[in-house]
Amino acid sequence: MKLIDYTRVFAFLAFAGSAFLSTVFHYPVFTIFWFITMMLFMAKLSEERSELTILAFIVLAYIPLGLIATLSNYVSKIDEPNHISYFAWLLIAFVCAELLLALTWITSTNNE
């Protein structure tokens, strides 16, 4: 096997892990949209020829999960019951950014 094949296998496991790790947090809307986004990333893996591109997307896939794990106890507390917390807005921003990146990656063509 070539290095790109190993990278694709690692990326598939990383994206699947990111999708399933998001289920342990108590943000169901984030989990659903994050799972869909990770599936979009996995769909493009077989066509990608650049190891660096794949590794960059793997790193981006774990940033929100790291933020949830480290900051959720501190930032997610709200004062008003009908108010969306700043942490929820941060998660929404990450999901939107990652979804945009996934759609851009899927629609891009490799020029090799």
In this prediction, residue 111 has a pLDDT band, given cuts at 50, 70 and 90, of low
Residue 100 pLDDT > 90: yes
User: Domain residues of the chain, as ranges?
Assistant: 3-85
Record the tokens describing residue 90, joined without a space: 């941060």
| Model pLDDT, residue 76 | 52
Please give the average per-residue pLDDT across 52-75, as a whole number: 81
Please give the average per-residue pLDDT across 14-31, as a whole number: 79
**Contacts by 72-79, CB closer than 8 A, 24 or more apart:** 72/25
Please give the average per-residue pLDDT across 81-109, as a whole number: 83
Record the tokens describing residue 108, joined without a space: 């891009």
Q: For 45-110, where are the alpha helices, taking DSSP H only?
A: 51-75, 86-107
